[in-house]
């Protein structure tokens, strides 16, 4: 059972969304206001009445919403440490408390002198805020479950690429060819190979330091260079890469694998892959560029899968704060990834 432990299959544990993420904030604003619009449509007597109703709802909703978002932003580190259901409860209590507070301090804004049924209004708003809160949290839970599949698939895909016969047997063959003449180099190659397998089997849920991913990519390239020799060249532009940045594992290596398989191998004279990593303000930018013969390369479904998976993982982990761009021309192919810069010890 021991070895099973290292290949965890269970799903990502439920977690509250990261309230400091811009994408999460935008989603909360959009959904809450969408629900408000829905309510306005239900209450209105005619089209002209809709904006009026919407305004009425917004006068209470907007201050509550903004205060909540601000408080959630501040409470994020603390919420992070709570168990999921405690977190849910905390968020609900917070929303309810803010609603009541805004209602009472709002004074005549929400309680025109003509109306006396303050108790009913208070309970009504309280229930509404708890409901909206529950809807939002359900949505985020559903979203993270839908996307967390991508994390598992990433590992499976990388594993599959590793045992892709083309890579596996050709590499073993290359190692065999140097066993007699360069035993030391053969040893290193086998060590590199086991590192690549180990990484593919590791748990995909945590972020890893950038230097670890660079190291892994270098080992992968070393193995391919053993086979392809001079034909495979890599231009590492990583002097400015922040070593302490955290990134999702297997972000860079699959991109390099694509570049080798689709870019370099079909070229008789080989070519050069550019890997550029740098920090730009609060962002980390990664760029992988390779020569590409569009004419001769047969469309290959695996390529699409690896890229699709990286995109899904970025969406799950960083929402709108990560960007992903593919450019291809007559003779090149370029993937650019931008993600928030996180420092190793800051989390």
Partner 1 sequence: MSTIELALRIFIVDDEPPARSRLRDLLHDCSEQVALEIVGEAGNGQEALDKLMETPVDVVLLDIRMPQMDGVELAQHLNKLPKPPVIVFTTAYDAYAIKAFELHAIDYLLKPIRLKRLFEALTRARAAVPVQTEVLRDLLPEPRKFLSIHERGKIHLVPVEQVLFLRAELKYITVRTAEREYLLEESLTALEKEFATRFVRIHRNCIVAKEEIEGFEKGSEEGEGSGWMVKLKGLDELLAISRRQQHIVREFG
Residues between 80 and 119 that touch partner 1 (CB under 8 A):
none
The binder of partner 1 chosen from 5, 81, 184, 295 (CB under 8 A): 295
Pick the binder of partner 1 from 226, 259, 273, 335 (CB under 8 A).
Answer: 226
Task: Choose the stretch contacting partner 1; rule: CB under 8 A; options: 101-109, 172-180, 205-213, 309-317.
Answer: 172-180
Q: Which is nearer to partner 1, 17 or 271 (CB)?
A: 271
List the one residue from 219, 227, 262, 313 that touches partner 1 (CB under 8 A). 227
Q: Which helix (H) or strand (E) holds 339?
A: strand 332-340
Alpha-carbon distance of 279 to 291, in angstroms, equals: 25
Q: CA-CA distance, 16 to 140, in Å (whole number)? A: 8
90 neighbors 98 (Cβ within 8 angstroms): no
Q: Which of 177, 194, 237, 328 binds partner 1 (CB under 8 A)?
A: 177
Report the nearest approach of partner 1 to the CB of residue 301 (Å). Answer: 15
Residue 192 binds partner 1, judged by CB under 8 A: no
149 φ, ψ (degrees, to nearest 5) = -55, -35
Stretch that binds partner 1, among 132-140, 206-214, 224-232, 321-329 (CB under 8 A): 224-232
Nearer to partner 1, 97 or 267 (CB): 267
**Token pair of 85, please?**
């259901």
Q: Which stretch binds partner 1 (CB under 8 A): 143-151, 176-184, 211-219, 252-260?
A: 176-184
Tokens of 158: 């990388």
7 binds partner 1 (CB under 8 A): no
CB–CB of 127/99 below 8 Å?
A: no
* Burial profile 153-185: b = 16 or more Cβ within 10 angstroms, e = fewer: bbbebbbebbeeeebeebbeebbeebeeeeeee
């Amino acid at each position: 059972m021991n070895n099973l432990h290292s290949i965890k299959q269970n799903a990502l544990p439920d977690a509250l969304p990261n309230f400091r993420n811009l994408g999460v904030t935008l989603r909360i604003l959009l959904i809450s206001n969408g629900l408000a619009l829905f309510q306005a449509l239900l209450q209105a007597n005619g089209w002209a009445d809709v904006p009026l109703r919407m305004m009425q709802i917004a006068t209470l909703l907007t201050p509550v919403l903004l205060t909540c978002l601000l408080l959630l932003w501040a409470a994020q580190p603390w919420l992070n440490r709570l168990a999921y259901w405690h977190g849910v409860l905390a968020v609900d209590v917070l929303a309810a408390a803010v609603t009541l507070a805004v209602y009472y301090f709002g004074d005549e804004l929400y309680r025109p002198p003509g109306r006396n049924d303050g108790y009913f209004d208070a309970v009504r708003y309280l229930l509404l805020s708890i409901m909206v809160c529950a809807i939002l949290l359900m949505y985020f839970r559903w979203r993270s479950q839908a996307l967390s599949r991508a994390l598992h698939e990433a590992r499976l895909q990388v594993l599959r690429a590793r045992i892709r016969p083309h890579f596996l047997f050709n590499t073993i063959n290359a190692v065999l060819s140097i066993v007699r003449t360069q035993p030391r180099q053969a040893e290193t190659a086998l060590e590199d190979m086991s590192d690549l397998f180990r990484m593919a089997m590791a748990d995909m849920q945590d972020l890893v330091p950038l230097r670890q991913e660079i190291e892994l990519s270098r080992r992968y390239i070393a193995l391919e260079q053993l086979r392809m020799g001079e034909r495979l060249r890599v231009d590492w532009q990583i002097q400015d890469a922040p070593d302490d940045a955290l990134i999702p594992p297997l972000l860079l290596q699959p991109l390099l694998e694509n570049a080798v398989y689709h870019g370099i191998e079909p070229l008789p004279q080989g070519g050069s892959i550019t890997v550029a990593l740098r920090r730009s303000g609060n962002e980390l930018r990664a760029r992988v560029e390779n020569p590409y013969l569009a004419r001769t390369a047969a469309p290959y479904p695996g390529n699409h899968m690896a890229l699709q998976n990286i995109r899904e993982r970025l969406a799950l982990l960083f929402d709108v704060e990560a960007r992903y761009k593919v450019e291809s021309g007559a003779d090149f192919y370029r993937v650019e990834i931008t993600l928030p810069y996180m420092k190793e010890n800051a989390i």
